[in-house]
Amino acid sequence: METATVLARVEWADSGQGAGAMLYDPRSLPEPGPQWLLPGTYGERARPVAVGGRQSAWFVDGAFGAGVLRGYRRGGLAARVSRQSYLWQGEARTRSVAEVRLLAQLRAAGVRVPAPIAGGYWRTGMTYRAAILIARIPGVHTLTERVLAGPLSHRVAHAVGTAIADMHRAGVWHADLNAFNILLDEQGDAWLIDFDRGRYGAVAPNERRNNLLRLRRSLDKVAGPAGIAAWEGIDAAYRTAWDSHH
């Protein structure tokens, strides 16, 4: 897997939606600009992602190949105020820029995550809107789908547990490690997705455990006893993978 991603930056003036900027991979996006972060650019070729995304994610195709475009949307009580706007606290703290950087760091560490193509924002006064474009991983299905299809094999449990251990070893905490944010490809490898609100730095033992317990709750919710059985295999694989490097 090619891992290193060297990011470049471009900014743009206000053209009616707010001034903004993006971080992008110049190898994947040789002609950067805000248009790549707008679903309207792709017309009917932008296909909504059915699972997750809060109705704000699309499968898209461009010069960069196959991608997934996701607009950042609030949930819960905050959505009653604004679903798309966030408080401006500086570029480094925008959801999109932070996630692009996190993905680049994870890939540099050899963790299986989607390649970041671009992430940017539009600022208006003290608020901003944001979107991210990542490479689409071919031939994948969610851990949820795999668990509902039958018991996990030792190989799949090992792949998932090892991927989570690799993430923690790289110093990253996942804000929402659930069964929909773990993908399995045709080779049986596990990929981790959706690092919005993730954090880079030392991951304490209780934080590592909380990530795994969040996954347990998710699997229990979608598959009941079969989900718990799958989690137990993943948890055992995680412990083995973690202990083997410590």
In 3D, which of 8, 111, 25 has the Cα closest to residue 62? 25
Which residues in 25-162 belong to E strands, given as ranges? 47-48, 57-62, 65-71, 86-87, 116-124, 127-135, 141-142
SS3 category, 176: coil
**CA–CA–CA angle 153, 159, 163 (5° rounding):** 150
Q: Which of 61, 166, 176, 189 is catalytic?
A: 176
* Residue 220 annotated to the active site: no
Joined tokens for residue 233: 């295999």
Helix axes 205-223, 154-169, angle to 10 degrees: 140
56 to 83, 177, 235: CA distances (angstroms): 10, 19, 32
In 3D, which of 26, 20, 9, 10 has the Cα closest to residue 117? 26
SS3 category, 190: strand
Q: Catalogue the active-site residues.
A: 176
